[in-house]
Amino acid sequence: MAIKKYFSQLLLSVFILAVPTASIAQDTVRVQDKAIGQTIPDTLLFKIQKAQSVITELKAANKRGYGITRIRTGLASVKANINPISADVQAHKKVVEAKNLTNYNLILNDALEKLTSWRTTLSKSNNDLQTRLDQVLALSSDSLLTVAGNDTTEKKLYADQLVGLRLQLQDAGTRTSAKLDTVSRLLADVSGTLLTINTLQTTINERLQKSAENTFQKESPYLWEAPATVAGSNWQTLFQSTYQGQNKILKYFFASTWDNRLLLLLVSGAFFIWVYTNFKKARTPSLRQKIGELQFNNIKPIPIVSSLIVLLSLTPLFEPQSPTLYIEIIQLVLFLVLTIHLWKGFSKHESRLWSLSGVLYLLLILTYPFVGDSVFLRLWLIALNIAFLYVGFIYLKRLPRKPITNRLIRPISKLYLVLIVLAIVLNILGRISLAKTFGITAVIGLIQITGLGVFIEVVLEALELQIKLSASSEGLFSRVNVRHTRWSFKRGLAFIAIAIWLLVFFINLGIADSVFNFLYQILTRPRSFGSISFTLSNVLAFSIILYLSSLLQKNIGLFFGESQLPVVDGQTSQVSSMLALIRLVIIIAGVLLAVAASGVSVDKFTVVLGALSVGIGLGMQTIINNFVSGIILLFEKPFRIGDYIELADKKGRIRDIGIRSSKMITSQGSEVIIPNGDLLSNRLVNWTSNDTYLKTEFSLKVTMDTDLQAMREIIKTEASQLEGSLQTMSPDILVTAIGGDTVELKVLVWIESIYDEANLKSQLLQQLATKFREANIKLV
């Protein structure tokens, strides 16, 4: 009985203990179910958000288009550019002119650069699209974004959203796949075009190399061995391929150099406004009386033709990489403009010769694309060259006798004849390409130098108009030596003309790049002197900066009212006291910029200055003084070699200017060595400076009853007509003494050179003696 009661109590205890355990287990199951219900929606929302983000990015990328339209349009343009080049290279299987090949290479290099950039862009786009497509496929196959019919989880709440999302993913996948296919095809097209251009460029480079190797070798049969037949169908093919190739060269050139052309138009427009404004000012009543009648041969009140001459003459300077056809067209237009400008001054024979030259030049341009092995075309080219020889001989015989123009045109005319003869000889020997190059170079060179000669005259007349206006209105040119200014401008314009002519000459010969590369290598090649490294370009920059700073500080006073002319009639010019400080600042700035441009480090420059300071302190004051004085003389140029100077009690001509001392030859023939320090520290008179004028004087004595006014008029008239005297300054006639029956006069006449003083004085006195005798004026 006790055992049964104990067992009953044990079961009760177990039940009591079991009841809480069961409830705890049930609660645990409920908690787990709740946790599952929360986990599934959180993960699902993250997936939905990620899918929506991918779809949004795909839509945005598709709107951007990956540059497909731009690249497709550009690729079509590149193909349109290279097809004529390929056709020209294939049509001229035997030879294409080296200048055209070089221009073709420029177009192909530009196309290669574009295609390489497009290929990189398309490759990146292709990889990006492939990555996005993989993301779409991964999301589409994700089971978490799929709701089954027997799904008991809370995903059923998102069923509609998941169905719409899957439709969007399907649409995005379809669009992305289509875009990927488009990008892949375009990438393949770009890569194929790139390969084609590389092959074409290789062919062109081989032709260029072969052309350079066979420059003076025979490429066609000798003239007496040349075939007499020419296939008519080939003419059309050659002309069409040549025209299309040259057209692409011109289009590429125009598109790549528009900024240089715009600058050239601005310069020519500025010249037009300058001349037009000056003519307008010259017509004002106040200036018309002072200037008088304006007579110019090359500029007009509305300078349209002269501005076109300036524009066409300066074109090669602003567009140095011009293709040959562009230069030929520019020179043809220049010929037409020169015809309009010069036609009225031509005689009947000169007008015929000029017209013949224009017709021959046009025929030469039209003939060149067809010249090949055929004997008839080669004979026609020789006939044209012979006609050009005739024109050249007549032109050289009848050159205008103007100093600058004749000095420029005469040697180039002789070179023209030599090149034409070489063109004929090379044609006979079978070197047709070189013959054509020499012929067109000669003809263009002669037309261009003629235009440059007129260009110089046009600019000089425009400058003369400015000088007249400025001198009448007391402007800048009223304070300078006009004769020296004209000479400086003439020299500068002649230098520009020679540079332009050489530039076009090298371009026509096809050696411009070689010449420029050679000069570039010479100027930029590193050189060393001890521990100092430098280049010739640094030395050139150093010299130019020092020269310009010296020139600027020397002439800066003109802008502050300072004058280079002698003071007349007691006039004085008030110049600012700040002018000396400005000159000093210019010199210091020029030296610092020159040192910086020289490439010499500042620490080495400091060491040199320190060494000089020590040397000066140890007793080299005199040597350093003469050395520095020599440098100052070289830059300030108070006198030049050949000038007649007066120093203390010595007068003579400068023979040499050295670093430490200079040499002077006296009128007695002795040589005087003068330390440079003395030349700067002592009073020096320069009788032959380009920036000053001189006075020569003599005395006259007449009786008391002489008409002094009539005598003054005679002296002024004869002095103004004397060659070598200064026409713009009248002589001074002063009464210096009065006696019982006599009057003593002093006459001072402005002259241009001291070397002509004795001769001019002798001529003037002889003329005065004749005029005084005719006017019954008796000298005592």
pLDDT tens-digit series, residues 349-365: 888 888 888 898 888 88
Assign 437 to helix, strand or coil. helix
Residue partners of 462: CB distance under 8 A and separation at least 6: 271, 274, 275, 278, 299, 303, 306
What is residue 342's predicted lDDT score, i.e. its pLDDT? 86
Q: DSSP code of 320?
A: T
Q: What percent of the chain has pLDDT over 70?
A: 70
Pick from 212-226, 383-397, 421-435, 725-739: least confident = 212-226
Instruction: Choose between 288 and 22: higher pLDDT.
Output: 288
Pick from 426-430, 480-484, 594-598, 706-710: least confident = 480-484
- pLDDT tens by residue, 579-612: 656 777 888 888 888 877 777 666 666 666 666 6
- pLDDT tens by residue, 540-573: 888 888 888 887 877 776 666 555 555 444 444 4
What is residue 336's predicted lDDT score, i.e. its pLDDT? 92
Cα separation, 778 vs 372, whole angstroms: 87
Cα separation, 666 vs 503, whole angstroms: 47
Asked whether the beta carbons of 447 and 354 are under 8 A apart, the reply is: no
What is residue 1's predicted lDDT score, i.e. its pLDDT? 40
Instruction: Choose between 399 and 271: higher pLDDT.
Output: 271
pLDDT at 23 over 70: no
pLDDT at 300 over 80: yes
Instruction: Choose between 62 and 598: higher pLDDT.
Output: 598
pLDDT at 494 over 90: no
pLDDT at 766 over 90: no
- pLDDT tens by residue, 501-551: 898 888 888 787 788 888 888 888 888 776 677 788 888 888 888 888 887
pLDDT at 161 over 60: yes
H helical segments located in 257-323:
258-282, 285-291, 304-318
CA angle 141, 170, 134 (to 5 degrees): 55
Instruction: Choose between 233 and 524: higher pLDDT.
Output: 524
Out of 149-158, 246-255, 390-399, 608-617, the most confident range is: 390-399
3-state DSSP helix/strand/coil % of the chain, to nearest 5: 75, 10, 20
Handedness of CA 364, 369, 370, 376 (dihedral sign): positive
Q: Which residues of 23-51 are buried (b: 16+ CB within 10 A; e: fewer)?
A: eeeeeeeeeeeeeeeeebeeebeebbeeb
The candidate with the shortest Cα–Cα distance to 558, out of 689, 470, 468, is: 470
pLDDT at 751 over 80: no
pLDDT at 28 over 50: no
Instruction: Choose between 558 and 642: higher pLDDT.
Output: 642
Residue 260 zone, left/alpha/beta (φ > 0; ψ -120 to 50; rest): alpha
pLDDT at 271 over 90: yes
Cα separation, 308 vs 334, whole angstroms: 8
What is residue 565's predicted lDDT score, i.e. its pLDDT? 53
Other Cβ atoms within 10 Å of 595 Cβ, number: 16
Cα separation, 512 vs 510, whole angstroms: 6
Cα separation, 463 vs 275, whole angstroms: 9
What does the pLDDT average to over 87-101?
A: 63
Other Cβ atoms within 10 Å of 463 Cβ, number: 17
What does the pLDDT average to over 442-447?
A: 88
What does the pLDDT average to over 395-405?
A: 61
What does the pLDDT average to over 23-44?
A: 45
Q: Residue 93 — very low, low, confident or very high, per pLDDT cuts 50/70/90?
A: low
What is residue 597's predicted lDDT score, i.e. its pLDDT? 78
Q: DSSP code of 779?
A: B
- pLDDT tens by residue, 618-638: 556 677 777 777 777 766 677
- Location of structure tokens 């002095």: 719
- Location of structure tokens 């020679």: 498
Helix (H) / strand (E) containing 653: strand 650-657
Q: Residue 10 — very low, low, confident or very high, per pLDDT cuts 50/70/90?
A: very low
- pLDDT tens by residue, 197-211: 888 888 877 777 666
The candidate with the shortest Cα–Cα distance to 683, out of 714, 656, 646, is: 646
- pLDDT tens by residue, 653-669: 887 776 677 888 887 77
What does the pLDDT average to over 737-741?
A: 79
pLDDT at 307 over 90: yes
Mean pLDDT of the chain: 75
Cα separation, 268 vs 564, whole angstroms: 31
Per DSSP, the chain holds a count of helices (H) and strands (E) of 22, 10
Q: Which amino acid is at 475?
A: G
